[in-house]
Amino acid sequence: MQYRQFGDLDWQASVLGFGCMRFPVRGGNSADIDEPEATRMLHYAIDHGVNYIDTAHPYHDGNSEWVVGRALRGGYRERVRLATKVPCWMVERPEEFDEYLNGQLEKLQTDSVDFYLLHALREKSWRKARGMNVLEWLDGAIADGRIRHAGFSFHDSYGLFREIVDAYDGWTFCQIQYNYMDVEHQAGTRGLKYAASRGLAVVVMEPLLGGKLVHPPQSIQKLWDGAAHQRTPVDWALQWLWNQPEVSVVLSGMSTMEQVEENVASADASGVGRLEAEDLALVDEVRELYRELCPIPCTECGYCMPCPNGVNIPRNFHLYNQGVIYEKPELARGSYGYVSPEQQASACVQCGECEELCPQGIPISEWMPSVHEVLGEGKPYEACPLP
């Protein structure tokens, strides 16, 4: 296993972290974790050098923390640093921060958690948490020893990311969605470098874009097959991340022992500067080809926003495009379900105001019905012709 300095801490983290949100389950029920197999996988990873374990309150409908706590008995807890998260969007009263943390410590069977994150911060949840003095609460939880280090995970714009990084001197680390397709999305490469420049460790989630980069379309696979150095699509994605010195830990939500074994082997072979110039050029070529597969030429610039009717135009287009690009319509539909109804494409009234502002000249009002039919009603993409 390879290790790296974790920000400004005097501690070396394994470059591979175990993300505990995709444990094997029984009967397709996310809440029913196959605990013996999940435990076997965790023990294998730790025995092979993984020392960063990441879970959260909502994972597996609240059961991930229970399983992790039991799996780390017998001396395994002392061999790892443990991270979990408070679901800020669910907190309605300041007192609930203590209630969540104390309950999580009980589930994890530990007196303290090494790394505690404000989970999945977006504009709304960040403002809400700040209004309940969450940063002062973090100071108190660190002082009384229940939390050793504070951080946050993030899903919003680069500007908000910088604001959050700069808002609190107590951050030790952050967690961002990052992969070779997300270099300009959310925090992106700019956020990675900014956080690192401030002394924060950067933990990467979604290195495979939720599995979308695992089984690429034939045209993408053809590019990988032509590489001088042969790797699986998964290994290409992981090595691209580990090639960057600002990346501290790459989390993988592993569901099978085979995935654990393969990722441990990839981590063993990782290192900053391991990829050659031709390798990096190939990744750039793959990214561009993926983008060429994109049916709606939306750059998510935001000039169309705010929509007078509340529709989140860039988000709708992003999800539709992802379903096409990665040939994963079911994942795009699942994500669409998390978009509030008033922001979904179905709320568009075809007023046309956004089209006057779009630099790409996209016929937005013509696209919106097709987007909802595919993502909201489950119709095949081919049944909804392009405008």
| 174 and 51 in a common domain | yes
Q: How far apart are CA 155 and CA 253, in angstroms?
A: 17
- Asked if residues 118 and 152 have their Cβ atoms less than 8 Å apart, the reply is yes
| 207 and 103 in a common domain | yes
| 324 and 247 in a common domain | no
For every residue of 209-229, DSSP letters joined together read TTTTTTS--HHHHHHHHT-SS
308 within domain boundaries = no
Which two three-digit tokens encode residue 297?
Answer: 């030429």
Contacts of 318 (CB under 8 A, 6+ apart): 298, 300
| 160 and 59 in a common domain | yes
The reported pLDDT for the residue numbered 93 is 96
Q: How far apart are CA 76 and CA 51, in angstroms?
A: 10
289 within domain boundaries = no
The reported pLDDT for the residue numbered 385 is 67
Query: Which of 278, 303, 338 corresponds to the end of one domain?
Result: 278
286 within domain boundaries = no
115 forms beta bridges with: 83, 149
| 133 and 240 in a common domain | yes
190 within domain boundaries = yes
302 within domain boundaries = no
The reported pLDDT for the residue numbered 358 is 84
285 within domain boundaries = no
> Which pTM does this prediction carry?
0.85
Could you report the average pLDDT of every consecutive run of 10 residues in the chain (387 residues)? 97 98 93 97 98 96 97 97 96 97 98 97 94 98 98 94 97 97 93 98 94 90 94 97 98 96 98 96 96 84 88 94 88 93 95 85 92 93 74
Query: Which of 251, 278, 305 corresponds to the end of one domain?
Result: 278
The number of folded domains in the chain is 2
| 366 and 225 in a common domain | no
For every residue of 107-131, DSSP letters joined together read HHT-S-EEEEEEEEE-HHHHHHHHH
Q: How far apart are CA 153 and CA 165, in angstroms?
A: 11
Other beta carbons within 10 angstroms of residue 22's beta carbon come to: 19
| 165 and 90 in a common domain | yes
Range of the domain at 69: 3-278
136 within domain boundaries = yes
| 131 and 211 in a common domain | yes
Query: Which of 255, 278, 301 corresponds to the end of one domain?
Result: 278
CA distances from 290 to 114, 131, 283, 346, 375 (A): 38, 41, 11, 27, 20
For residue 164, give the H/E element and its range: helix 158-167
